[in-house]
A and B are shown apart, each in its own frame.
Chain A
Amino acid sequence: MGTLPQLIEEDIQGLEEAQRELLEKSEATTALVIDKGGFLISSYGDARQFDLTTIAALASGAYLANQTIANLVHEPNFNSVYQQGERYSMFVLSVDEYCLLVVIFKALVSVGVVKYFALPAGEKIAVQMKAALERDPGNGLDLSVLNLADTAELFKRKS
């Protein structure tokens, strides 16, 4: 299974621009781009009040579980999940084969508006991700600065 090998400054800027525009137009609170494996790729907006790492892991799981249910009931047209809340709601949109766009917004904000602006944002994100993927998928890793000299005990037990 392939996925994005790496993202460079230009990719992150492109993602953030799409997220910024989405938040401005929809008045949503936070926008995340996440990998369907559960990784947080990029976030924009208010990040202080939410545990974004955990939200990314759970949102991808919830999306994939719902997609599987849709398949089981023979529903081919599935690309989003909407969770309605009393304080905050969440909209998850599939961007491409690998990524999801997660939008967290106050319950007062109309979900229709969020959906309306999330679609073009998702398209922009998909274009940026495609560019990243096509840049050089087999030759993208540069971990030369990773220092593995002292990896005898990466994780230590508290004494």
Chain B
Amino acid sequence: MTGRWNPGDDVIAVQRAPRPGGAGGAYRAFGETLRGMKTTMARIFEGPTTISYPEEKVPVYPRFRGRHRLHRFEDTGLEKCVGCSLCAAACPADCIRVVAAENTPENRVSAGERYAAVYEINLSRCIFCGYCEVACPFDAITMGHDYEMSDYNRQDLVFTKEMLLEEPLERTPLRNEGE
């Protein structure tokens, strides 16, 4: 009884690298250096993978959650938003502000009973989670594809309804799912 545990068949033969050092080690190191040099040289022939950003842009997927867009009905031109404030309620960052007003026959802005007199998104607080899009019962607000929103002034990042309804000045390149 030696008290030593017998591992039985659980023994796994581990293949170890040769011990470093000595003339053999130097010889192997030389060979490995050449192998490494071959590897780095192959990278030159592969060419750069850089995307020179401001000039070249990475296309985004259609589901990409960029800056919000507000939508109108294509046939009537009326706004889809009815000022229900569900988006503001759903927003975890509390960055949407909606003030609703009644539609009147002479001033008809939206298709519903009421419309959003003020619709502001503070993009400096928005976390682009897309809950507003999910909460909206009329698909009036969706996440667009713009991601270049930096500005010099914090106030300029509060986007008003007019800004959100406008077509973006520059179209972000799109790619198909799976591309």
Are A and B a genuine interacting pair, yes or no?
no
